[in-house]
């Protein structure tokens, strides 16, 4: 008799298992592992990472726009370092190990911020504990115990958790996929969707947001809009934006941290673009594909 195929052997093995021993991964075991990233990639992706093609396209368009349309507001008005970033991106796109090293460095940054977030979470707990205790002890002392500052500190620490945890949340994939089909798609299909959405929609939005937030953060720290000067020189804490409520902490520093949070968010999106591009290029060893928990599906 001919040898049974691999699929027939898999079905026979599963038939031998008692029903109560079958777990939540039965369907996945029946279908077998996803082989999409091992299938032949587009020939052009084997020579250059997709992010390099995008950077080359932006470079060409920017150069044409700069030479044909002399404008200060459109893509042709790039700073020197932005031109350099495009050139370096193209160079990295043809050297997968170097591009993967950039991704690893960006994800190490998100790991560092996740540690800070855990520390801030405990800080919020203790600050709120002190706030509750002093609320009940306040009637028994002759002076206030800085209730306003403690409440403001708790809110600002909680805001820092949200801002500094954005990049780690993207890395860990904690954002829910609100669709009916995501879990059933192959790695290649998921990579196509994420690469296109992140590159052409998410990345431009974050780029513009970081540019806008630079002026916003500087203004919150006291920089004047007219002449761009700092009223108190290097002693910026003397010109921080103050809260309108009585007995509250200054708002300048936490508003400036919005820029930092979105900057970290932008860097992690770049890392995700690199990872999904490696999937499209068939380089699974650099793709770092992680399993997502089923509870994240919202249907």
In sequence order, the 6+-apart residues with CB closer than 8 A to the CB of 110 are 167, 168, 170, 171, 264, 268, 271
Coil/strand/helix, residue 180: coil
Identify the pLDDT of residue 144.
Answer: 58
Q: Does 195 fall in a domain?
A: yes
Biggest CA-to-CA distance, the chain: 95
User: What is the distance, to the nearest Å, from the Cα of residue 160 to the centroid of all Cα atoms in its chain?
Assistant: 15
Cβ contacts of 221 within 8 Å, gap of 6 or more: 236, 239, 240, 241, 252, 253, 255, 256
Q: Is residue 249 part of a domain?
A: yes
The predicted model scores a pTM of 0.79
36 belongs to a structural domain? no
Answer yes or no: is 3 within a domain.
no
d(CA 80, CA 256): 25
Domain count, the chain: 1
- 169 part of a folded domain: yes
pLDDT at 46: 79
| Residue-wise DSSP of 69-91 | ---SSSTT---HHHHHHHHHHHH
Which pLDDT value is given to residue 161? 94
Contact 257, 221 (CB under 8 A): no
pLDDT of residue 178: 66
DSSP 40-51: PPPGGGGTS-HH
CA–CA separation, 260 vs 207, rounded Å?
13
Residues 6+ apart with CB under 8 A from 274: 49, 51, 99, 100, 102, 103
Query: Is residue 66 one of the residues assigned to a domain?
Result: no
User: Does residue 9 lie in a domain region?
Assistant: no
Rounded to 5 degrees, what are φ and ψ at 233? 65, -135
Torsional sign, CA 189, 190, 195, 200 = positive
Does residue 273 contact residue 3 with C-beta atoms inside 8 Å?
A: no
Write b or e for each residue in 89-112: b if 16 or more Cβ atoms lie within 10 A of its Cβ, otherwise e.
Answer: bbebbeebeebbebbeebbebbee
Report how far residue 177's alpha carbon sits from residue 297's, in angstroms, rounded to the nearest whole number: 6
* Full domain range(s) for residue 160: 95-293
26: in domain = no
For every one of its 299 residues, what pLDDT tens digit does the chain have, with 9 covering 90 and above? 445 544 445 445 444 444 444 444 444 443 344 444 445 556 777 789 999 999 999 999 888 887 777 666 667 778 889 899 999 999 999 999 999 999 999 999 999 999 999 999 999 999 988 888 877 777 776 555 567 788 888 999 999 999 999 999 888 887 766 667 777 788 888 889 999 999 999 999 999 999 999 989 988 888 877 777 777 666 777 778 888 776 778 888 999 999 999 999 999 999 999 999 998 888 888 887 665 544 444 44
């Amino acid at each position: 008799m001919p040898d049974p195929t691999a699929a027939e052997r898999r079905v026979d093995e599963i038939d031998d298992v008692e029903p109560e021993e079958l777990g939540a991964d039965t369907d996945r075991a029946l279908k077998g592992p996803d082989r999409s990233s091992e299938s032949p990639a587009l020939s052009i992706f084997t020579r250059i990472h997709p992010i390099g093609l995008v950077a080359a396209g932006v470079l060409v368009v920017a150069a044409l726009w700069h030479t044909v349309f002399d404008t200060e507001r459109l893509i042709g008005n790039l700073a020197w370092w932005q031109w350099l970033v495009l050139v370096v991106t193209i160079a990295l796109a043809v050297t997968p190990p170097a591009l993967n090293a950039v991704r690893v460095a960006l994800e190490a940054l998100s790991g560092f911020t996740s540690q800070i977030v855990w520390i801030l979470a405990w800080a919020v707990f203790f600050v709120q504990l002190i706030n509750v205790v002093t609320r009940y002890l306040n009637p028994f002392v002759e002076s206030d115990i800085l209730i306003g500052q403690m409440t403001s500190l708790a809110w600002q620490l909680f805001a820092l958790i949200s801002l500094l945890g954005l990049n780690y949340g993207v890395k860990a994939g904690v954002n829910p996929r609100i669709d009916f089909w995501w879990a059933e798609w192959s790695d290649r299909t998921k990579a196509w969707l994420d690469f296109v959405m992140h590159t052409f929609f998410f990345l431009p939005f974050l780029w513009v947001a970081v540019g806008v937030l630079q002026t916003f953060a500087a203004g919150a720290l006291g920089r004047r809009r007219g002449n761009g000067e700092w009223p108190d020189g290097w002693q910026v804490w003397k010109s921080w934006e103050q809260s309108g409520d009585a007995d509250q902490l200054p708002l300048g520093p936490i508003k400036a941290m919005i820029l930092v949070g979105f900057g970290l968010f932008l860097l992690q999106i770049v890392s995700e673009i690199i990872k999904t591009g490696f999937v499209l290029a068939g380089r699974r060893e650099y793709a770092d594909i992680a399993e997502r928990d089923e509870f994240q599906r919202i249907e």
